[in-house]
């Protein structure tokens, strides 16, 4: 007998550089951050990923965590400044009737180990430890729609922040691995601040890749003021 949706169990979990929600890119592909997917023992079979290494991108179907039991028919997308309501099914809000997420990521490589295959992916917008429910290959000939309409998102002028490194954080920034530096700059450029707090003059701190990064934003520029390694 086939399992129903209520019988689903994670096939894997992701190890990502985002231990908390704040700082995670709002969509997959916005930051070229590296993560890995480790299969549960039941599914850690090299035969299960046979042929997957021929695909450059994959779909991750996953479960939102800590969203609560309540859902609303309307939500306030951060893209609209958190001030306008849209129908939940017209958004990618985590506050849904069923907490299911969908992300398109780059398949960087597959590593085969004694514990099973490990998938290394780039561009994931998942918090560390997120359960993966399924993995499917991305097919450009059917999944890509260059002329697709983006609804209300087409009406928003996309703006990214310029990045400056404060003198007090320059040495710590220089000591970071190149991949970490690049990922951090891409994350901050997307302005991770909550939409309702973007008019506040205050410092914000995100945790990324085992470091705490404090920054402030003024006139379209994000300045990194402090970088502190976590023990």
SS3 readout for the chain: CCCCHHHCCCCEEEECCCCCCCCCCCCCCCCCCEEEEEECHHHCCHHHHCCHHHCCEEEEEEECCCCCCCCCCEECCHHHCCCCCEEHHHCCCCCCCCCEEEEEEEEEEEEEECCEEEEEEECCCCCCCCEEEEEEECCHHHHCCCCCCCHHHHHCCCCCCEEEECHHHHHHHHHCCHHHHHHHHHHHHCCCCCHHHCCCCCCEEEEECCEEEEEEEECCEEEEEEEEECC
Is the distance from CB of 187 to CB of 208 less than 8 angstroms?
yes
- Residues 163-177 pLDDT 10s: 999 999 999 999 999
Is the distance from CB of 222 to CB of 216 less than 8 angstroms?
yes
Distance CA 127, CA 120 (A): 15
Distance CA 165, CA 227 (A): 10
75, β-bridge pairs: 86
Determine whether 229 is exposed, middle or buried from the number of CB atoms within 10 Å of its CB (0-12, 13-18, 19+): exposed
Q: Which stretches in the chain have pLDDT values below 70?
A: 1-5, 68-69
pLDDT for the residue 211: 97
Distance CA 163, CA 227 (A): 14
- The pTM (predicted TM-score) of the whole model is 0.91
Which of 2, 9, 75 lies closest to 39 in space, CA to CA? 9
Which of 172, 218, 155, 229 lies closest to 191 in space, CA to CA? 218
């Amino acid at each position: 007998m086939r399992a129903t949706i209520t019988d689903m169990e994670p096939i894997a979990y992701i190890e990502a550089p985002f231990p908390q929600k704040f700082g995670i890119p709002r969509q997959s592909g916005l930051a070229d951050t590296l993560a890995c997917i480790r299969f549960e023992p039941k599914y850690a079979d090299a035969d299960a990923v046979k042929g997957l290494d021929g695909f450059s991108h994959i779909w991750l179907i996953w479960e939102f965590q800590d969203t609560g039991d309540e859902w609303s028919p309307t939500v306030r997308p951060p893209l609209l400044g958190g001030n306008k309501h849209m129908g939940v099914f017209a958004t990618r809000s985590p506050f849904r009737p069923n907490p299911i997420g969908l992300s398109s990521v780059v398949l960087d490589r597959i590593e085969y180990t004694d514990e099973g295959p490990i998938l290394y992916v780039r561009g994931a917008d998942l918090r560390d430890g997120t359960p993966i429910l399924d993995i499917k290959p991305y097919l450009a000939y059917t999944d890509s729609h260059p002329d697709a309409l983006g609804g209300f998102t087409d009406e928003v002028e996309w703006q990214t922040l310029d990045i400056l490194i404060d003198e007090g954080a320059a040495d710590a920034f220089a000591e970071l691995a190149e991949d970490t530096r690049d990922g951090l700059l891409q994350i901050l450029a997307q302005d991770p601040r909550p939409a309702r707090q973007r008019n506040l003059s205050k410092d914000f701190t995100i945790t990324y890749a085992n470091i705490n990064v404090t920054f402030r934003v003024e006139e379209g520029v994000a300045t990194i003021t402090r970088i502190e390694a976590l023990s």
